Amino acid sequence: MTGRHPNLSQRLWNDTVSPHDYSTVGGEKYQAAVLEQYKLYVEMADRISSRRSLTNTFFVTINTGFLAAMGAVSRSALRDAPAWGLTLITIVALCQCAVWFMLIRSYKQLNGAKYKVIGELEKRMPALLYSDAEWAELGEGKSFRDYAPLTHVELWVPASFAALYVVTVGVVLIAR
């Protein structure tokens, strides 16, 4: 996994600290410190994923409620509502879909950076779990048959809600 910033390894590791600074016998304390930082960083990456899931749940709830409210309104109320009102409501719904879309992309970028750092930390460990082994097993996200990256799937959800809003309001306005 190479990124836009090829010198991540140089930025990650503190050159003024080496295994010899932790002990003179094989650097056990240094290795323990690297392992502890690795565990903490993986936990932070997992927390980002949990927040991402909560964010998606929040927006799915808002959009489902919005669609339920639209369905509960009678046809005559929709037919009699001013076009500018329907347009304004649709713009608000589309804006929140756009915000949701941007948040998903932001979480993707944040997690992507975290997993690159985790990959660099793994270079100081006996196994390259995430950076080489798992990612290679998943085909590096290049084929949906091997692995469909979550973000690619997630981005379709706000786009689908947005399309549904446009079609629904379009049908209401045309049916007048």
Render pLDDT for 67-87 as a digit per residue (tens, 0 to 9).
Answer: 888 878 767 777 788 888 888
Mean pLDDT of 26-51: 87
Say which residue the tokens 């056990």 belong to. Answer: 28
Chain position carrying tokens 């995430």: 130
**pLDDT band for position 4 (cuts 50, 70, 90):** low
Nearest to 11 by CA among 116, 127, 132, 87: 116
The 8-class DSSP code of residue 175 comes to T
pLDDT-above-70 percentage for the chain: 90
Would you say 41 and 121 are in contact if contact means Cβ atoms under 8 Å apart? yes
Q: How open is the CA angle 133-127-51, to the nearest 5 degrees?
A: 70
Cα–Cα nearest to 59, from 173, 172, 169, 155: 155
Cα 159 from chain centre: 15
Does 174 have pLDDT greater than 80? Answer: yes
Q: Is the pTM of this model over 0.75?
A: yes
